[in-house]
């Protein structure tokens, strides 16, 4: 059992370096914008709640499992938005749990356009249980001492979000600005160590009516995730750690403001030496809106990497609820 976990952790580590991002990844990111941009808080115009679970590379023991919950709402005449987000990410023997509180100020910019400026503060608990690993050497100095470390890492983030409700949007978010060092104690001579780097998220999208009645809405959207602003970054003297820029392209159609179906493609701009392709996955997702404000959704990722054989893809399930106090019910769901 422990050998299986060890192999899985090695595969995951290689894939994570190849696909760049350290933050938890979600295919249905369009319903979870608050996680990577605090300026999104309150932009929907009413209190919005949601929860999402992701199982990545189903079939590989020790593969990532991620959960997130969020809530945000406008206050004081829609000029201020407040939000809360929680993300739990488990990879092999490690766990990272992050809680954030967001504040956004919405500024009218001509017509129905608004610019939202957001900040957030929070804390991450990173922990590991190295007992789950099967070591080749029982006296490995890298794991001597505390084999169940736990760290509390405070952080803060910022974001901008320019939008015209149900027409278009563009945003940039930096959810954690402080780059956390996972070394514990006074040992500062270690040449290689774990570190959480600053991530930048760029997003843009629009909603285009296909027919005059507005019963069919086409929504293209893109999310770009990068470390060190489109440059590979490494503190490893061997140069083995890098971070290619990753992007998600999503195309979806909303039918009769009720049923939403979409497809997306995930890849990276750069490739590492020896990689034949930078493709990560092709994804399908669906969501359904009930008249009482409840929404449910699911997604499936078809893996395009070397993990295609041992893994049976990735999947997500989502549950949410929107409170529209002005209309007492959800007449038209927000597209963003």
Q: Once rounded to an integer, what is the mean pLDDT over residues 36-41?
A: 96
Please answer whether residues 40 and 30 qualify as being in contact, where contact means their C-beta atoms are separated by less than 8 angstroms.
no
pLDDT digits (tens, 9 = 90+) for 49-90: 999 999 988 878 778 899 999 999 999 778 999 999 999 999
Secondary structure class of 123 (helix, strand, coil): strand
Quick one: DSSP state of residue 269? S
Greater pLDDT, 292 or 309: 292
| pLDDT exceeds 70 at position 9 | no
CATH architecture, range 2-323: Beta Barrel (2.40)
Q: Residues 298, 286: contact at Cβ < 8 Å? A: yes
- As a whole number of angstroms, the distance between CA 182 and CA 60 comes to 26
- Which among 24, 158, 181 is positioned nearest to 103, based on CA atoms? 158
Distance CA 270, CA 277 (A): 10
DSSP of 15-29: HHHHH---S---TTG
Rounded CA gap, 242 and 224, in Å? 17
Strands (E), the chain: 47-55, 65-75, 80-91, 94-108, 113-128, 150-164, 168-174, 180-181, 195-196, 199-206, 208-209, 216-227, 246-255, 259-268, 279-289, 294-303, 314-323
133-174 residue pLDDT tens: 776 666 565 566 566 778 899 999 999 999 997 799 999 999
- State pTM to two decimals: 0.84
């Amino acid at each position: 059992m422990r050998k299986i976990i060890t192999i899985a952790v090695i595969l995951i580590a290689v894939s994570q370096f190849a696909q760049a991002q350290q933050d938890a990844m979600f295919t249905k990111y369009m319903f979870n914008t608050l996680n990577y941009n605090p300026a999104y808080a309150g932009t929907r115009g009413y209190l919005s709640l949601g929860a999402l679970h992701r199982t990545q590379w189903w079939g590989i023991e020790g593969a990532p499992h991620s959960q997130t919950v969020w809530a945000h709402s406008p206050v004081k005449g829609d000029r201020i938005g407040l939000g809360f987000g929680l993300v739990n990410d488990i990879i092999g023997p490690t766990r990272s749990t992050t809680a954030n509180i967001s504040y956004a100020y919405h500024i009218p910019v001509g017509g129905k356009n608004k610019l939202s400026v957001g900040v957030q503060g929070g804390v991450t608990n990173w922990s590991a249980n190295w007992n789950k690993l099967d070591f080749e050497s029982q006296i490995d100095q890298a794991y001597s001492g505390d084999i169940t470390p736990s760290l509390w890492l405070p952080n803060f983030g910022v974001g901008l979000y320019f939008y015209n409700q149900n027409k278009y949007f563009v945003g940039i978010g930096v959810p954690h600005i402080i780059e956390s060092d996972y070394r514990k104690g006074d040992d500062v001579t270690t040449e290689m160590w774990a570190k959480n780097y600053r991530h930048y998220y760029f997003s843009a999208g629009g909603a285009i009516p296909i027919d005059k009645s507005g019963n069919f809405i086409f929504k293209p959207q893109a999310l770009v995730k990068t470390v060190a602003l489109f440059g590979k970054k490494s503190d490893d003297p061997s140069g083995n750690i890098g971070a290619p820029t990753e992007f998600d392209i999503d195309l979806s159609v909303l039918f009769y403001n009720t049923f939403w179906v979409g497809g997306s493609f995930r890849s990276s701009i750069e490739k590492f030496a020896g990689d034949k392709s930078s493709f990560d996955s092709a994804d399908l997702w669906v969501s359904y809106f009930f008249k009482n404000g409840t929404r449910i959704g699911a997604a499936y990722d078809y893996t395009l990497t070397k993990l295609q054989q041992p893994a049976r893809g990735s999947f997500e399930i989502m549950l949410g609820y929107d409170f529209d106090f002005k209309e007492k019910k959800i007449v038209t769901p927000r597209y963003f």
